[in-house]
Amino acid sequence: MAKINFDALKTVDDWSGALDTLIAEGKAATRDNDSDKRLDVQAQLTDFITRSPSFAAPLDEVARAAARDLFIEQVDASLAALALRDADLKKATELLKGVAAKADADAKSIQFKKVIDILDRSKAALDELKKLEETLAAPNLDLLRKIKAANASIEEVMKAVTKPA
């Protein structure tokens, strides 16, 4: 990319030629999607406006418009890229929500499995206690009634826990 020697520009044709060069380089940078070159052209267009003589005021307006056009090109590219990021964010958020929901469901499933396991062991222990009490010469009827009530309670809880939602 050519650096314009603004000190060497004297005539309208010199300034006009320099601006023509900058606009051509801006087009090429935009066409090549080279943001560094676009920024460099924008900086030189700003220098052009700052350093140009008063007779070049109409050229300054063209230079301002060209600098603005290069900026718009960058903004459009940024907005397009950010729109893609927005879509990526939505996909990632949905993925994370799905993973979190699955993890929550898995955690609940594990918790219920533990509860069911504890209830099964409790019921088995009560069944053994009932068998033992029944084999005694003089079974304690009050104890047998309590064992049956505990077994019934455990069975109710197990039905409630294992019942599909």
The pTM of the full predicted model, rounded to 2 decimals, is 0.50
User: Which position has the higher pLDDT, 140 or 7?
Assistant: 7
Q: Is pLDDT of 82 > 60?
A: no
Q: Is 33 left (phi over 0), alpha (psi -120 to 50) or beta?
A: left
**Segment 101-114, tens digit of pLDDT:** 777 777 776 767 77
Q: Is pLDDT of 16 > 70?
A: yes
List C-alpha distances in Å: 60 to 49, 71, 130, 140. Answer: 5, 16, 102, 109
**Residue-range domain boundaries for the chain:** 6-89, 98-162
List C-alpha distances in Å: 19 to 37, 68, 138. Answer: 16, 14, 115
Encoded tokens for 108: 């609940």
Dihedral angle of Cα 52, 54, 60, 61, to the nearest 10 degrees: 180
DSSP secondary structure, 30-67, as one string: HHTT-HHHHHHHHHHHHHHHHHS-GGGHHHHHHHHHHH
Decide: 39 and 80 in contact? Cβ < 8 Å: no
pLDDT, averaged across the chain = 80
Please give the pLDDT value at position 44: 95
**Segment 36-48, tens digit of pLDDT:** 998 999 999 999 9
Pairwise CA distance, residues 127 & 28, whole Å: 88
Q: How confident is the model at residue 88 (pLDDT cuts 50, 70, 90)?
A: low
